Amino acid sequence: MKKKFICMFLMLALTLGMTSVFAFADTGSTYSTGFIGFTTKRVSDTKATGGAVVSFSATPSSYTVTITLQKKSGSSWVTATDVTGNTIKYTGSNKSTVITTDEWTVKKGVVYRLKCVSVDKYNGIQYSNTDYSDPF
């Protein structure tokens, strides 16, 4: 009897929990910036390459992908203003995937990462997503 009661309680709890998750959906849209992936490489002490792949769940009417090179400053990250080309924008339209590749002359002994901000428009609604690479 005790096992039956526990099973019924668990089933009820799971059912009610799932109902609240499904009821939380605020729009019927399934569009999203589905994925941002990074490739980074410290080629030498003073040269680094990196890129991002931004994949949309559908083809947006327009997009802007901004890649910013950031450096570690104490316990925070700041834009690497001492590096030429620290912010690069890619704009376009009607592409479901955006691939970027960039190269920088960096400072020896400094830790960097990439920040990717994707702003895209689909069916007249603007979406944005921000992600960061691992440090390199």
CATH number at residue 118: 2.60.40
Can you give the three-state secondary structure of 12-70, one letter per residue?
HHHHHHHHHHHHCCCCCCCCCEEEEEEEEEECCCCEEEEEEEEEECCCCCEEEEEEEEE
CA angle 125, 101, 132 (to 5 degrees): 60
- 18 assigned to some structural domain: no
pLDDT tens column, 12-49: 444 444 443 343 344 456 788 778 999 999 999 999 99
Report yes or no on 82 lying in a domain: yes
Domain membership flag for residue 17? no
Task: Tell me, yes or no, whether 79 lies in a domain.
Answer: yes
Q: For the whole model, what pTM was predicted? A: 0.76
The structural domain count of the chain equals 1
Q: Does pLDDT of 59 surpass 80?
A: yes
Domain membership flag for residue 122? yes
Residue 64 lies in a domain: yes
- Say if 21 falls within a structural domain: no
Question: Looking at 3-7, 65-69, 78-82, 88-92, which range is the least confident one?
Answer: 3-7
pLDDT of residue 31: 84
Residue 3 lies in a domain: no
Q: Which domain holds residue 44?
A: 31-132
